[in-house]
Structure 1
Amino acid sequence: MKKQFAVIGLGRFGGSVCRALIENGMEVLAIDRDEAKVEQFRDIATHAVIADTTDEKVLKSLGIRNFDHVIVAIGDDIQASILTTLILVELGVPHVTAKALNAYHAKVLNKVGAEKVVHPERDMGVRIAHHLISKNILDYLELSDDYSIVECIAGEKLNGKTMVELNIRATYGCSIIAIKRGREIIVSPAADETIQTDDLLVVIGADADIVRFEMDLIDS
């Protein structure tokens, strides 16, 4: 059975989430109080409605409590974002993800019960910074304030070295959890696995440890 999602706020972030969910075969209710934005999703989303989500009666009339997951992607109106999130939590929506504009906004969203708070602008800034720091970094995912997963390209320094020779966990405190080599994906590579130039390494660890690993072994 398909999961049912509702996306509240159809700006750049909300619109992108909405399209991605639909492309992956999910049922999506697209909501915004701006008629022009809703019209853009009439033929894309399962349903698209104009609504003020700060009104509890309106959300109830939409049957919002029956949705598996609601994403609050309201843009610049912090008050509307917080109130909408609070109402969704009080109505018993199983999963509520909310977009935060800043640290204070995120703190309040957590306080009112959002299951997950995302910072799309901040996260994109961090990703871009990592790309600028090292030409070998392809992607970056923050797990917490101190831990991350990065995808990086193995440089010449790693070519022909086995996992046991590098001893990355003992030396740097981080771990290579997978290697992508063309279409092949090696999960939890064995001690005798030999790294090749241009392998894509998936590394997990504390940010400081990952940076040391990048500087010493990835950058050529």
Structure 2
Amino acid sequence: MDAVLNTAGKKLKRKSQNELSRPSREQAEAAVRVLLAWAGDDPVREGLLDTPRRVAKAYEQIFGGYFEDPAEHLKRTFDDVGGYKDIVMVRAIPFHSHCEHHVLPFVGMAHIAYYPAEGVVGLSKLARVVDIFAKRLQTQENLTAQITSAIDEQLAPRGLAVMLEAEHQCMTMRGVQKPGVSTITTQFTGLFQDEPAEQAKFMTMVRGGGL
């Protein structure tokens, strides 16, 4: 029985992005027409004639993260930093993503801090990593974990802290309809995970209190 279950489990494993069969642009536009009709409008009226093309083009941009590798942006580090080994923080990185449950936006800020081990990475690269993962269907929890994992694996810092705070339109536009509610997620590794004082230092810096 265990062998049968194991075999079935392997068959049900999610395919990687490279194994997925991507529909054609024409199929994507046809799907948009179906949704427009299902919503109660006429997809062939003048104002909507070009909407399927625009939606497909917009999806290429807002979900472009599926076709980028964050590791590529973290490969190059700089060792000539005068022996600097203290905390490096990039605060208030704007991002927008889409909830995988309702395909509605959630928008917010990411805060990233790390203690360098061998060298430092270009500051813009951390923002790139946030964008790449944000431009996929997400939950905020998974987005936080993916950003943390990518940076931790590539830089191997002595400690890493990631905090995301965002407002979810699936809570604002539908369901409980509560605008202004923020969701905060955090993940810590190394020094930040082991030492509560380092977490407190990170939180103080996030809130603009300096050191």
Q: TM-score range by the shorter chain?
A: under 0.3
Structure having the higher helix fraction is 2
Higher relative contact order (CA 8 A, sep 6+): 2
Higher strand share: 1
TM-score where L is the length of structure 2: 0.25
